[in-house]
């Protein structure tokens, strides 16, 4: 097998490079012809990975978090080229969904060598200018967007803890946000919502932000997305909701609406959406499921 291994040197303050090197050693020890790829920017990384694919590698692997995985997904989605993940970023929600342990490069490499694969869904985002992008975990907007903005600007603490701190800080300035939402449900019917929301999220996977189960019923292989809308309420009531979100038990709460959808259009002025932890575009955006769009290596 010939494999291109994309490393994010910024992941966990440089642990992406170290994890990639350890994984490369393990892969080579099992006869996998492994080429390390590491660009100085996202654009350079994409370009180098595209070149490796053009040269005919059999598989791609990523050492980093959800954002770096997203770079690879942009190149391999729909191609049938399998993707392996060595999780070592700030957020590793997609790897966790697949049962791949964080910061265990050798075990992640073993999953690739084992050759067991699984086809999973992706979500495709269509912007108003016609451009598109894919994500694997969760698209977040509204309150979540502000949390991501703040968490990405923080230098301490490392890991998922900074999301928790960002949530608490943004909670102090919580505001109602006017939204227009149009969803195509599982049975093909269309449902609309026009009014104020605190946040709107679309889950292909269950978790974001380092393990928060915002879409507890989501399944990356069911051919559907999970829409979660949170309506305004008093701060005390919303504060009581947070622990339930962290446990994934917010289903049925009065302020929370959950729908299983084929696609959804989100519109709100001045709101930027994040997906897989990175900005993906300003609303309005349309999000649609792409069933079995990605082949991934998974542990036995």
Helix or strand or coil: residue 244?
helix
Q: Which residue has the tokens 């729908």?
A: 259
Identify how many contiguous H helices and E strands the chain contains and give both numbers: 8, 15
Of the residues 144, 226, 276, 278, only one is catalytic, namely 278
Secondary element (H or E) of residue 115? none
Helix ranges (H only) for the chain are 15-29, 42-54, 66-76, 93-97, 105-114, 143-153, 161-171, 235-247
CB-CB neighbours of 253 under 10 Å: 17
CA distances from 136 to 21, 157, 173, 295 (A): 25, 25, 30, 12
Q: Distance between CA atoms of 5 and 83, rounded to whole angstroms?
A: 10
The answer for residues whose C-beta is within 8 angstroms of residue 13's C-beta and 6 or more apart is: 158
- In whole angstroms, what is the distance from residue 224 CA to residue 41 CA? 33
Q: Is 104 one of the annotated active-site residues of the chain?
A: no
Burial 193-211 (b: 16+ CB within 10 A, else e): beeebbbbbbbbbbbbbbe
Instruction: For residue 222, give Cα distances in angstroms to 83, 203, 204, 218, 293.
Output: 19, 12, 9, 8, 12
288 CB neighbour count, 10 Å cutoff? 18
Return the active site residues: 278
């Amino acid at each position: 097998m010939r494999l291109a291994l994309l490393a994010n040197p910024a992941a966990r303050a440089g642990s992406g490079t170290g994890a990639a090197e350890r994984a490369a050693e393990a892969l080579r020890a099992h006869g996998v012809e492994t080429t390390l790829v590491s660009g100085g920017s996202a654009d350079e990384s994409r370009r180098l990975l595209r070149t490796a694919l053009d040269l005919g590698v059999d598989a791609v692997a990523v050492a980093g978090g959800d954002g770096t995985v997203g770079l690879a997904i942009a190149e391999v989605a729909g191609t049938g080229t399998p993707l392996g993940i060595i999780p070592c970023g700030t957020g590793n929600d997609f790897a966790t969904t697949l049962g791949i342990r964080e910061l265990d490069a050798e075990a992640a490499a073993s999953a690739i060598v084992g050759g067991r694969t699984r086809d999973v869904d992706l979500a495709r985002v269509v912007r108003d200018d016609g451009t598109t992008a894919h994500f694997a975990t969760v698209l977040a907007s509204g309150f979540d967007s502000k949390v991501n903005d703040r968490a990405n600007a923080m230098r301490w603490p490392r890991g998922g803890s900074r999301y928790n701190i960002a949530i608490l800080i943004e909670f102090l300035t919580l505001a109602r946000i006017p939204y227009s939402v149009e969803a195509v449900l599982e049975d093909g019917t269309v449902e609309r919502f026009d009014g104020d929301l605190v946040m709107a999220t679309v889950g292909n996977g269950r978790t974001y932000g380092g393990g928060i189960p915002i879409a507890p019923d989501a399944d990356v292989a069911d051919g559907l997305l999970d829409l979660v809308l949170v309506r305004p309420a008093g701060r005390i009531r919303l504060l009581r909701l947070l622990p339930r979100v962290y446990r994934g038990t917010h289903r049925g709460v009065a302020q929370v609406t959950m729908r299983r959808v084929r696609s959804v259009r989100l519109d709100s002025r001045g709101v930027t959406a994040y997906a897989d932890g990175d900005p993906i575009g300003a609303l309005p955006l349309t999000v649609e499921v792409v069933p079995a769009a990605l082949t991934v290596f998974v542990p036995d």
